[in-house]
Structure 1
Amino acid sequence: MRLVLAAAVSIPLLLAAGPGGAGPVEPGFVPGVEDLPLMPGLMAPANAAVVFDQPEGRIVESAAQGDVSAAAITAFYAQTLPQLGWRPAGNDRWAREGERLEITATRDGMGSRAETVVHFILRPQ
């Protein structure tokens, strides 16, 4: 009985982790950008970031998704980013200390399975 119960608990957790056991990153920060908060309600897969360090600065492309509206995402980052030294630099664009950040949110899927996918692109200015 204990073996069946253990399997019933373990199998869904393993399946949720995805290939290679790499599950979603816990809420906190956008993968690849240690000082950019991830909005509550968004989850990022462990392999969601591509990071390049260059003499000119870092380039990071990352993604997250969740059942959050694009308007709520825009409002969250409009309130949060200025507190971290970012200043508005156009639609969905921010600038800070030689870096620029672009945040785009699009709805993906249909019906009850639709989620908002958020892309974060950080580049040197």
Structure 2
Amino acid sequence: MRLAFVAALSLPLLLAGGPGLARPVEPGYVPGVEDLPLMPGLTAPTNGAVVFDQPEGRIVESAAQGDVSADAINAFYSQTLPQLGWRAAGAGRWARDGERLEITATRDGTGSRAETMVRFVLRPQ
């Protein structure tokens, strides 16, 4: 009886997802970077960013994943980031106001289980 009661109480929590589980963020931003949009189709852990504030500037490392091609990710950020003041600084690299941003996308898995992992690294220039 106790087990059934605990299971009944736990089910809504499992279905809703707990802290740190990946869930869609729409519209959303890359965790740790309040002005960097998260591409639709990507999900990110709610507490998945590592953020350091230092006198030279902030350092943020964050990640997201989804069933989106690396080409689509690159196209999205190539179109979006210039509108936010970022300047292209090489393949997957951007610069703005003394900061540099690097975005890398790699495909993991095969077949229907394949997902693209996207890594965002923001550092002072």
Same fold? TM cut 0.5: yes
Partner of 2:83: 83
| 1:1-125 correspondence to structure 2 within 5 Å | 7=8, 11=11, 14=14, 17=17, 21-22=18-19, 23-25=21-23, 26-27=25-26, 28-125=28-125
- Once the 2 structures are TM-superposed, how far is the Cα of residue 24 of structure 1 from its aligned partner? 2.9
Q: What code does the residue aligned with 2:62 have? A: S
Supply the distance in 2 between the matched residues of 1:93 and 1:83 (Cα, whole angstroms). Answer: 15
Q: What code does the residue aligned with 1:24 have? A: A
Supply the distance in 2 between the matched residues of 1:11 and 1:24 (Cα, whole angstroms). Answer: 18
Q: What code does the residue aligned with 1:54 have? A: Q
Q: Flag as ranges the 4+ runs of structure 1 deviating above 4 A.
A: none
- Matched residues, percent identical? 80
Q: Which structure 2 segments of 5+ residues have no match?
A: 1-7
Supply the distance in 1 between the matched residues of 2:113 and 2:46 (Cα, whole angstroms). Answer: 21
Return the TM-score normalized by structure 2.
Answer: 0.85
* Partner SS, residue 105 of structure 1: strand
Return the TM-score normalized by structure 1.
Answer: 0.85
Supply the distance in 1 between the matched residues of 2:109 and 2:48 (Cα, whole angstroms). Answer: 19
Q: How many pairs were matched up? A: 117
Q: What code does the residue aligned with 1:65 have? A: Q
